[in-house]
Amino acid sequence: MLFQTLDILGTIAFAISGVLTAFSKRLDPFGVFIIAFVTAVGGGTLRDILIGNTPVAWMQDITLIGVVAASVVFALVLRNRLDKLRTSLFLFDTIGLGMFTLIGIEKGIGADLHPLASVALGTITGTFGGVIRDILCNEIPVLFQKEIYATTCIVGGMVYFLLAYFELPMFWVALATIITVIAIRLLAVTLKLSLPSFYPSEK
């Protein structure tokens, strides 16, 4: 029940981040829905394909399609209140990142994968919806830039297995993992932290 709830909340967060990106590109309503949909389910779809869980999650449970549709309507209705689009996009994307990282790790464990592979699966689940979103919107994905993005998922995964090793209740393990991912992402952006660049700064 816990992870089903988190899956729905993560879907909502990523769907809204997709809507906000689509707004910034002035897409029509159908385009808005498509961008919201691929943002919300893209990472999970790739995850399910990699572990052989087919048909993928959103095909087995069409509730997720309804959740995406409702999120799109919600964002459209409150569009005027989401005036700071960049800030709103960042917040929803960060929340979804934390929740989907945890879901991906759990899926990896359920598939009897090695902890490192489970962390990788969590990272894929958390980041690749955003990658697909950015590519479709003609943007360079955040994952491929020097921003601290996928790194937050990896650290969150390490926290997950560390706390699980000490046999803490799963609720607290899950909460700590999500908070770790969100906190690192927020701190990185607030403090302007980034990964080293291979390219000299332009003058």
Backbone angles phi, psi at 147, to 5 degrees: -65, 150
Closest by CA to 125, choosing from 36, 182, 49, is: 49
Is residue 194 helix, strand or coil? Answer: strand
In a domain, 80, yes or no: yes
The pTM assigned to this predicted structure is: 0.87
Count of structural domains within the chain: 1
Q: Which domain holds residue 116?
A: 2-142
In a domain, 32, yes or no: yes
For the chain, list residues with pLDDT below 50: 202-203
In a domain, 166, yes or no: no
What pLDDT sits at residue 203?
45
In a domain, 158, yes or no: no
In a domain, 138, yes or no: yes
In a domain, 83, yes or no: yes
In a domain, 85, yes or no: yes
* Side-chain half-sphere CA neighbours of 183 within 13 A: 9
What pLDDT sits at residue 84?
59
In a domain, 97, yes or no: yes
